[in-house]
Amino acid sequence: MPTQQPPIADEVLTEEKCWANLHSAGLGRLATVAKGLVDIFPINYLVNDKLLYFRSGPGSKLVSLTSAPLVALEADGFDGRWHWSVVIHGSAKRLDSDDEIEQSGIKDFEPWSHTPKYNYVRITPTDITGRRIDRYAFERHTQS
């Protein structure tokens, strides 16, 4: 009697699917390093030509990116059956040219926070990875 294969419970996402998920999310967590500590900031972002852009006000996030530009960004979501997560590693750079800002589209991008954000930052990825997990593939246990 043939054995039944278990359902696919999780899978590694292709680069194309990672980018598609990033486009759909728009909200992620940016990890930076400052003074030897890792910090995480929620950001909403724009994807344009496999680059990520966000707006920032002055503060510790911008200082961190200036002194240590290597960053990670994680975004996740849910599309009914599947939970997914995408991680990008790369370098962040504050845009200082009007041409760069205009071409990126970030100037017209509305941040979710109402705090003034007049600094424009680009993340240039060095790698992108993602996974998705089938929420129905495993038996769920709840505490009583």
Give the start-to-end residue ranges of the domains of the chain: 10-134
Q: What is the pLDDT of residues 53-73, one digit of tens each?
A: 999 988 888 888 888 999 999
- Encoding tokens for residue 141? 């246990």
Domain spanning 10-134, CATH architecture: Roll (2.30)
Which stretches in the chain have pLDDT values below 50? none
Please count the other Cβ atoms lying within 10 Å of the Cβ belonging to residue 138: 11
Q: What is the pLDDT of residue 33?
A: 92
Q: Which of 102, 95, 75 is nearest to 19 (CA)?
A: 75
Q: What is the pLDDT of residue 112?
A: 83
Q: How far apart are CA 133 and CA 144, in angstroms?
A: 25
Neighbouring residues of 73: CB distance < 8 A, sequence distance ≥ 6: 28, 29, 30, 31, 43, 45, 52, 87, 88, 90, 123
- Encoding tokens for residue 126? 């060095």
Q: What is the pLDDT of residue 3?
A: 59
Beta pairing partners, 128? 88
pTM of the shown model: 0.85
Q: What is the pLDDT of residues 95-115, one digit of tens each?
A: 999 999 999 998 888 888 888
- Of all helices (H) and strands (E), which one includes residue 15? helix 15-25
Q: What is the pLDDT of residue 34?
A: 84
% residues pLDDT > 90 (the chain): 60
Q: What is the pLDDT of residue 58?
A: 87
